[in-house]
Structure 1
Amino acid sequence: MDRNQQYERVFNHIDENGDKKISAPELQKCVALIGGELTVQEAEAAVESVDSDGDGMLSLEEFVRLVEGGGHEEKMNELKEVFKLYEMEGRGCITPKSLKRMLSKIGESKSVDECKLMIQNYDLNGDGVLQFDEFIVMMS
C-alpha cells in the first residue's frame, strides 16, 4: 500500500458521515482517539490553514497537505502517537499480533503470517518486531 492509499484510508476512517470532507469536529474526535487534545478552535484553525476552497472542511488533498505540512517535531509526535496505536501490548514495539489487530480496526484483514512478512520488510535488527526507529523508516 503506498502513502496515498494510507492517507485515503485514514481520511475515510476520520470522515464518519462519508461526505468526503473532514469537519473540524471530526478532526478533533480523531485526535482524541489517538490520545491527543485539540480544542474546537485549534481544530478549526488547522482546517482553515489548508482549506483552499474556503468551505471550512478538509478534502482528501487538503488533509494530505495538513498531515505533510507539519514541522519535523510535529511529525515525530504524530508518528509516536500512531506507533502507540499499533503497539498496543505495552512492549514498546509492534508485534505481528498487534499489527494484525490494528489493521483489522481500519478494515484491512491480514493473517499473523502476513503481518510477520510486513514487519520483516522493515525489521532492521531482525528481532521479529518493529521498534520505533524501524517504524519511522516504514512510514517514510
Structure 2
Amino acid sequence: MAAALGRVFSALDGDDDGKISAAELRLCMKAALGEELSAEDADDLVASADADGDGLLSLEEFLSLARLETEEEAERCRGLREAFRMYEMQGQGCITPLSLKRMLGKLGSHQDIDECQAMICRFDLNGDGVLSFEEFKVMMDA
C-alpha cells in the first residue's frame, strides 16, 4: 500500500519539490476526480497532517494522512455494519421490507410494508427486493 501511495504522492507533487501544497492538491482533485476542492478545505486538509508547520505535506505527512483517512473509513464501516445488523432479519445478510418495518416500528416510525418496499426499492441496485450491506452503505451516504 505504501508503494501505491508513494505513486499517488508523486502524481500530486506537480512541481516535483517533494512536497504537496494545498494548490497542488486542489489541482489534482479537479483533474483526477473532476471534483472541486475549495481553497479552505484544501488548506484544512494539509494543515490536519502538516506536522512540521511548513504549510506543505511531505511524503511522510501524506502517508500519515492516508492512514488516518483509512482508519476513519474502517471505523465508519464498523458503525455501518452494526447499524445494518440491527435492520437485517435474523442474520440473513440483507434488509427485507419486513425487517425494515420491524426496526422502524421499534424506533417509533410505523410504516406499512408497501412503504418499506418503496424505501428499499430506491436503493436496491440489483433489483432483488432487499438491501445488501453495500446497498445499505450507498443509502447511508445519500
Relative contact order (alpha carbons < 8 A, sep ≥ 6): 1 or 2 greater?
1
The answer to which structure has the higher helix fraction is: 2
Q: TM-score, normalised by structure 2?
A: 0.49
**TM-score with structure 1 setting the length:** 0.49
